[in-house]
Amino acid sequence: MLEQWHNGYVTKIVNETHNTRRFWIQVPDKEPFDFKPGQFVTLDLPIHEKKNKRWRSYSIASCPNGSNTIELVIVLLEGGAGTTYLFNEVREGSELLLRGPLGVFILPEALDRDLFLICTGTGIAPFRSMAHFIHKHQVPHRNIYLIYGSRYIKDLLYPDEMQQLQQELPDFQYIPTLSREDSPSWTGRKGYVHTVYEEMLADRKPAYFFLCGWKAMIDEAKQRILAMGYDRKDIHLELYG
C-alpha cells in the first residue's frame, strides 16, 4: 500500500552553505511524524503536468523526536526544476504536499560490526539522522565511521555538529575528506572517500557499509568494497540525483 499524501507546512528555512538550505516541515495530520533514521519523503511540487515528473525525494536529515516536524537539507541543482522551485518559491509558511516516510535504507537490527557511513554532499542527511538516533537511544554499537566527501571546506554540511557528536558519542569518528581544498587552514583528509575506508579496512574486519550520495561515488565504492572481498549483502545504498 502506498503512503497517502499529507499537507506539510514550512516552519523554518536556514541557508546552510552557499548552495544548500535546511527546510523544517511540519505535518499537522501526522502526530508524531514517526520514521526510521535513513528514510525519506517524496514531495509533489507544482512543476509539471505529469505526476511522476513532479515528484522529488529527499532523505530526512533530522532524528525521530516524537514531534511532527522533520528537517530536509537540499542542494540547489543547476537547471533542476525541483530545487529551483524550492529555492525560489518556497518561504516560511509555504505549503508542500508530501508522502512518507518511505525507504528501507535503515540501520541493521544489531550493530554488531563496524559501521561505515560513506557519503558525498547532502548524502550526509540520513547518516546525521542515524548517528543522532544511536546517541539519543544509546544503541549498543561497534565503531562508527562517517566518511564524508566534499570539494571544499565551504561545502561541508553540519561540520560543527558532527565534531560535537564525535566528542559525545563513543566510538564515533567523523572523517571529512576534501577533494579540491588547497587552503593551509585545512589540516584534515584530502582526496576522495575511497582511500579512507580502504586504508581503514586493510585488515578486512567485518563491517556494514551504507553509501549515500551521487551515483558515480556509489558505483565506485560498491566495486571497491566488493573487490576487497566483502559481500553484496553488507552494502546498502541510497542514490541521489
**184 contacts: CB under 8 Å, gap ≥ 6:** none
- Strands 172-178 and 189-190, by their bridges, are parallel
Residues 2/99, Cβ–Cβ less than 8 Å: yes
159 in Cβ contact with 176 (< 8 Å): yes
pLDDT recorded at residue 52: 86
Q: What is the CATH number of domain 114-240?
A: 3.40.50.80
C-alpha dihedral over 60, 64, 65, 68, to 10 degrees?
60
Question: Half-sphere exposure of residue 106, counting CA atoms within 13 Å on the CB side?
Answer: 14
Bond from prior residue into 206 cis (ω within 30 degrees of 0): no
Instruction: Determine the average pLDDT of the residues in 192-209.
Output: 96
pLDDT at 192: 96
Q: Taking the domains of the chain in order of start, what are their residue ranges?
A: 5-102, 114-240
What's the fold here for domain 5-102?
Answer: Elongation Factor Tu (Ef-tu); domain 3 (2.40.30)
Q: Which residue has the cell 563513543?
A: 170
Characterize 151-177 residue by residue with b for buried, 16 or more Cβ atoms within 10 angstroms of its Cβ, and e for exposed: eeeebbbbbeebeebbeebeebebbbb
Task: Name residue 75's beta-bridge partners.
Answer: 20
Which pLDDT score is estimated for 239? 87
Residue 184's region, left for phi above 0, alpha for psi from -120 to 50, else beta, is alpha
Instruction: Assess whether pLDDT exceeds 70 at residue 2.
Output: no
pLDDT at 60: 98
Quickly state the pLDDT bin for 56 (edges 50, 70, 90): very high
Is 100:4 a contact under the CB 8 Å cutoff?
no
pLDDT the model gives residue 113:
97
Question: Could you count the other beta carbons within 10 Å of the beta carbon of residue 104?
Answer: 9
DSSP element (H, E) containing 109: none
**pLDDT one-digit tens code per residue, 140-199:** 999 999 999 999 999 999 999 999 999 999 999 999 999 999 999 999 999 999 999 999
For residue 240, pLDDT beyond 90: no
Annotated binding-site residues for FAD read 82-83
Average pLDDT of the residues of the chain: 96
pLDDT digits (tens, 9 = 90+) for 104-137: 999 999 999 999 999 999 999 999 999 999 999 9
Q: What is the pLDDT of residue 241?
A: 63
Say what the pLDDT of residue 17 is. Answer: 96
Which among 54, 79, 105, 89 is positioned nearest to 208, based on CA atoms?
105
